[in-house]
Amino acid sequence: MSSKLRAFLAGLLALPLAAAAQGKGKTEITWYGHAAFTVKTPKGTVLLIDPWLSNPKAPAQGLADSLEKVDYILVSHGHFDHVGETVAIGKRTGAKLITNFELAKALVDAGYPKDNAGFDTVGNVGGQVKAGDATVIMVTAVHSSGFGDESGTKVGGNPMGFVVKVEGGPEIYHTGDTDVTQDMRLIPERYGPVDVMLACIGGHFTMDPKGAALAASFVRAKVVVPMHFGTFPVLAGTPEELIRALKGKAKVLVLTPGRATSF
């Protein structure tokens, strides 16, 4: 092989790798520990999910003050480990709030800008919200949703999970906190098979790895990203147990907090 041809072939191979590394035309998912993720779409829309960015596994301190661009904040339910720094980030970035009706009201009472928590993005289970070049579908989760602040615990509506359908990109399912449910079978039936499932696996407050493996089969997930494990000692489920329980039926991808992965 001539050196010119070799260089040409090497260039061909390098191109898609470079594009993937830079996330060009791709959807980037970044885990920030616990249940916190950002999804950055090919057109640059940034969706921040369950932003407890001060969690013990967070990749850096002060992330709530430093995330540059956030267009939408999705909050699955009212517990502190999911609401996290929602109010502060909402105030600083002007992000619109996607959550259920009661929790949106509680967050506005706690200081979230009211104009960014209107009916264009606040809904409830079964609803769909347009979010730039993505659509967010609010789906069932079996859990609880009280929202606590200095004044006590307030009604936080029903807990939910999110299906995020990215235009020209993957279908992502963030389970929120939940057990495995028969309702999960409806997700691929209604919205198509899930490309990337962000699945709670810790047990105790949610499903464990065996439950998550069953849930992955219900939603026909291609890739499962484990979350909501190891933050506290009681969240004892591990990715290794998930891999064993899946028996090769879906790929498990353990993300490194703070590092973007392209899909």
- Decide whether 177 or 241 has the Cβ nearer to Zn ion: 177
Taking the complex as a whole, the smallest distance from the CB of residue 22 to Zn ion amounts, in Å, to 33
215 forms bridges with which residues in the sheet? none
Binding mask 80-119 for Zn ion (x = CB under 5 A): -x--------------------------------------
Phi, psi of 161 (to 5 degrees): -110, 175
Does position 179 bind Zn ion by CB under 5 A?
Answer: no
Rank residues 121 and 231 by Cβ distance to Zn ion and give the closer one. Answer: 231
> Cβ 198 to Zn ion, closest distance in Å?
13
Q: Is 208 in the site for Zn ion (CB under 5 A)?
A: no
CA-CA-CA-CA torsion sign (187, 130, 103, 70): positive
Q: Interaction with Zn ion in 53-82: which residues (CB under 5 A)?
A: 81
Q: Whole-number minimum distance, CB 79 to Zn ion, in Å? A: 5
Number of residues that bind Zn ion (CB under 5 A): 2
Stretch that binds Zn ion, among 2-10, 60-68, 172-180, 229-237 (CB under 5 A): 172-180
Tell whether residue 177 is a contact of Zn ion (CB under 5 A).
yes
Binding segment for Zn ion among 17-25, 41-49, 176-184, 253-261 (CB under 5 A)? 176-184
Q: 115, exposed or middle or buried, with CB in 10 Å at 0-12, 13-18, 19+? A: exposed
Q: In angstroms, give the least distance from the CB of 125 to Zn ion.
A: 18
**Rounded distance between C-alpha atoms, residue 220 and residue 232, angstroms:** 29
Nearer to Zn ion, 116 or 178 (CB): 178
Is the CB of 27 or the CB of 86 nearer to Zn ion? 86
- Which of residues 93 and 140 has its CB atom nearest to Zn ion in the complex? 140
Q: Of 10-18, 97-105, 115-123, 177-185, which part binds Zn ion (CB under 5 A)? A: 177-185
Instruction: Give the binding site for Zn ion (CB under 5 A).
Output: 81, 177
